[in-house]
Amino acid sequence: MITLYQFPTSPFCEKVRRMLGYKQLAYTLVDVPRALVQEYRHVSPIGKFPAIECDGAAVYDSTDIAEFLDEIVATPRLIPQDPQARALAHVIEDWADESLYFYEIEMRLAWRHNLPKALPSFAATLPGLSEAELFERIATGAKQLTTAQGLGRKPADRVVKDAARHIAAIDGLLGGRDWLVGNMLSIADLAVACQVNALRYAEECERLIQRVPAVLAWLARVDQAAPDVSANSPA
């Protein structure tokens, strides 16, 4: 039996929910309260989520979770076996996790005009705060993170220009094909799609994505092949 420990609003946790949906694995969800992460050190010693527990084994980090799930259930595979496809999937996944992630933090959460759309889904893991306190906590925390990383110091129009380039890159990588790597869904599709789904909370990104039918069709394909049964939908 698999238990997924998550922050429901995290794109990395959505990525793991979709891995489990793709492999049609049943699981129990535990929403981790942000104030109590220390109580979950047995599954995530670094205090980051997602983490899973499966028959006594604990694994944290979505990339390691993908490897683990491929080990316990061989098909359908998340990580391609062909060395070149595997390398490309790894690089695309890392682009999503380490670059696109900061765009969603900045545009969905640090840009105050976009935050109200995402706010209700944060209430479950930050209980006891008024709506105004929740808003301030998330907006300030997100801005601190992106400022330290660098993106948060860029003017908004430059961030939107970058985002347009990233969305065009997805279109370019697809090149008219169904999936980002080879002819099967892979960890690359899940990693990128989950960051894009978070980016769609930002009105600027939603406008950009609506102009790229191939990316919209690919998102629908990912959703169909790897459903997120416990999805938080935008308010």
Burial of 27-48, coded b for 16+ CB within 10 Å and e otherwise, reads beeebbebeebeebeebbeeee
Give me the least distance between CB of 5 and ligand GSH, in Å please. 10
Give me the least distance between CB of 46 and ligand GSH, in Å please. 8
Measured from the CB atom, is 109 or 181 closer to ligand GSH? 109
Amino acid at the residue 68: F
Site string for ligand GSH, 18-47 (x = CB under 6 A): -----------------------------x
137 makes contact with ligand GSH (CB under 6 A) = no
Give me the residue label for tokens 């801005």: 143
Cα dihedral 110→100→24→89 (10° resolution): -170
Whether the Cβ atoms of residue 2 and residue 56 lie closer than 8 Å to each other: no
Amino acid at the residue 151: L
97 makes contact with ligand GSH (CB under 6 A) = yes
10 makes contact with ligand GSH (CB under 6 A) = yes
49 makes contact with ligand GSH (CB under 6 A) = yes
Query: Which run of H or E residues covers position 112?
Result: none
Give me the residue label for tokens 């899940």: 190
Whether the Cβ atoms of residue 50 and residue 13 lie closer than 8 Å to each other: yes
Longest CA–CA separation in the chain, Å: 51
- Selected binder of ligand GSH within 5, 7, 22, 218 (CB under 6 A): 7
Give me the least distance between CB of 51 and ligand GSH, in Å please. 8
12 makes contact with ligand GSH (CB under 6 A) = yes
Whether the Cβ atoms of residue 92 and residue 180 lie closer than 8 Å to each other: yes
Measured from the CB atom, is 24 or 144 closer to ligand GSH? 144
- Selected binder of ligand GSH within 29, 33, 48, 164 (CB under 6 A): 48
Binding site for ligand GSH (CB under 6 A): 7, 10, 12, 47-50, 61-63, 97
